[in-house]
Amino acid sequence: MSTFPATRLRRLRRTGALRELVAETHLDLADMVMPLFVSPEALPNEALPAMSRHTVDGLASAGVPAVLLFGIPEAKDDEGTGAWIDDGIVQQALRALRERFPELLLLTDVCLCEYTAHGHCGVLHGGEVDNDATLDLLARTSISHVEAGADAVCPSDMMDGRVGAIRHALDDAGYEQTPIVAYSAKYASAFYGPFREAADSAPSFGDRRGYQMNPANVREALRECELDLAEGADVIMVKPALPYLDVIRAVRERFQVPVAAYNVSGEYGMVRAAAARGWLDERQAALESLTAIKRAGADIVVTYWAKDLAAWL
């Protein structure tokens, strides 16, 4: 093995073209998914523009190939009825987007927390989220999304058995070709803060640690992925992304399926806030963050920078 001076690693770093030639990781807009919030009334967010709420009429494609829809309904109740009704906010958005942008990939977040008055991800029984009673509602929500035009459904609730319940329900309804993108390793994270504001989904009591994962665990993440795959998940997801790059890497190495990572609102918000103070350059920090997530092993990245990336790349 040759050493210095025969070997000089700086040779391949000398120009931009050389660096690009030997880059091991590339960002491609085709791998990015833009979260999109839809509600009866528009609510611009100046500090975090990607987290603005749009009306059904105001929805635009944002120049990205894929979107992940979240709905903020007009009314909430204990069961989260707004999640699965035929004229729910996400169902309306799906029909409008499908007609306006036939090529746009439409993914939907499947959960009840935006629709329940208590803000938890499932129905309550004795002050706790009732796992099994929630499964049927998640399945109904999934079917109504697919009926309205969703290309894939993405359960984010972290109930045990939800992927299997949704798979069976979709198959029974004739949607055996619709993939499930499972939020398999979803952690109870402080980095969801800006999202809860944007989606109006903060729990009215307690927290989500009874169903979302403990940030301390990685072996458990692999078990979650294994179970979701056994139940029929087509893509498995790790959420959040940046504080969990080791989890993405572990999942990548263990499973031969597409892996998604969710670059969450707090990750986006921290960079935006620091950039607003002139502490760092948003574009550089965002590109570096997204490159790190892909380098860790993610095939697909859900990111609030997807729209900006369309302009940057």
> In the complex, which residues of this chain contact Zn ion (CB under 5 A)?
111, 113, 121
Count CA atoms within 13 Å of residue 294 on its CB side: 20
Q: Which of 20, 19, 27, 23 is nearest to 298 (CA)?
A: 27
Instruction: Match 């770093």 to its residue by tokens.
Output: 13
Instruction: Match 């839809």 to its residue by tokens.
Output: 38
Structural contact between residues 191 and 238, judged by C-beta atoms closer than 8 angstroms: no
Q: Is 307 a catalytic residue?
A: no
Residue whose CB is less far from Zn ion, 91 or 289: 91
Residue whose CB is less far from Zn ion, 67 or 121: 121
Residue 24's contacts (CB-CB under 8 Å, 6 or more residues apart) are 295
Pairwise CA distance, residues 114 & 154, whole Å: 15
- Minimum distance from CB of 233 to Zn ion (Å)? 17
- Minimum distance from CB of 120 to Zn ion (Å)? 8
Residue 309's contacts (CB-CB under 8 Å, 6 or more residues apart) are 27, 29, 32, 64, 286, 290, 303
- Minimum distance from CB of 106 to Zn ion (Å)? 19
Residue whose CB is less far from Zn ion, 179 or 203: 203
Q: Which of 155, 141, 118 is nearest to 236 (CA)?
A: 155
Report which residue type is found at 272. R
Dihedral of alpha carbons 190, 271, 10, 249, sign: positive
Residue whose CB is less far from Zn ion, 113 or 247: 113
Measured between its terminal Cα atoms, the distance across the chain in Å is 38
Residue whose CB is less far from Zn ion, 115 or 175: 115
- Minimum distance from CB of 157 to Zn ion (Å)? 5
Q: Which among 76, 186, 294, 307 is annotated as catalytic? A: 186
**Which residues are catalytically annotated?**
186, 239
